[in-house]
Amino acid sequence: MTGLVTLAELRAARERLCGVAVHTPLVRLEMPGEPAALWVKAEGLQPIGSFKLRGAYNKVAQLSASERARGVITYSSGNHAQGVAYAARAVGAKAVIVMPSNAPQVKRKATLALGAEIVTVGPASAEREAKAKQLAADFGYVIIPPYDDRDIIAGQGSCGLEIVADKLDVDLVLAPVGGGGLLSGVAAAVKLTRPGVRVIGVEPELASDAAASLKAGSMVSFTGEQTSRTAADGLRTQSVGALNFAHMQAYVDDIVTVTEAEIREAMRRLIFATRLVPEPSGAVAVAAALFHREQLPHAGQTVAIMSGGNVEPAVLRSVLEEEL
């Protein structure tokens, strides 16, 4: 099947995820002095601590019996790794995960706890993709891509369907962007059901390949050394996926970037104001809402997606100690 993900595919993914992924709540985050309302879509409350369960399970659940018997493989810095491991365990398939050497230990341990086998490579996202493809060729594993895949996009888009169903008066949706699975799925879901709602992607300044791509009108790649500078480890992909970029061009209104200091302050605000605990990647959309209002469309009701909460204890401690 070619072209962009359809509304029928998005709705089918939502049905497939019933009883597996949590329909996560919208939590109000007060902004002193701001008349507009900000709501946080708390995807850190998923069973694996991030939205990645949606796409991974939507893909794995559709594999044939013979494909499941071959086992699955993916490449991920941690959250997609857990999503694939969780989904593979649910259907009785072996899971092999290629992870970078700089992946957070909390994510490595969680992936192992779900029964997956881990293969470690260097920090570049291109390196782990190449290793996964090699192992798939050698052993017959089925590759479960982290973002550049229509079933993955449709699964992540179920998050967008929940937002428009739960917040009928939403004006603006903010979603983090790494490879683009979440942003492209959410943007498609929102625009295909509520065309007037604006959708903005958010990424770290230090890994701003998506913003550069949207501005250039073609995909721009960063080096692994460049993207490794951000603390937002879930957003260190070196470029967006081709299918993801097509969705961004069709449905995303803009992409804004946030600083490392803004990410950390957004983490603190979320923790103290809502008791939600985000990882750095999970706080970027909220950082845009808090610190970049002038770059965003005027909106009375904004939803920012907190994409995950799998934060390293040492990172969390340092973020909280800065406040003290």
Which residues are known to be catalytic?
A: 52, 307
CA–CA separation, 71 vs 58, rounded Å?
A: 16
Residues 232-265 as b or e (16 or more Cβ within 10 Å = b)? bbbbbbbbbbebbbbbbeebbbebbbbebebbbb
Look at phi and psi of residue 211 and say left if phi exceeds 0, alpha if psi is from -120 to 50, else beta: alpha
CA–CA separation, 264 vs 176, rounded Å?
A: 15
Residue with tokens 């900000």: 38
> For strand 172-176 and strand 26-29, is the pairing parallel, antiparallel, or unpaired?
unpaired
Nearby residues of 142 by Cβ (< 8 Å), 6 or more positions away: 63, 67, 70, 71, 72, 73, 136
CA–CA separation, 255 vs 321, rounded Å?
A: 31
CA–CA separation, 324 vs 272, rounded Å?
A: 13
Residue 223, burial from CB neighbour count under 10 angstroms (0-12, 13-18, 19+): exposed
**CA distances (Å), origin 167, targets 12, 75, 171, 268:** 21, 34, 9, 25
CA–CA separation, 245 vs 229, rounded Å?
A: 23
Name the token pair of 143.
């590759």
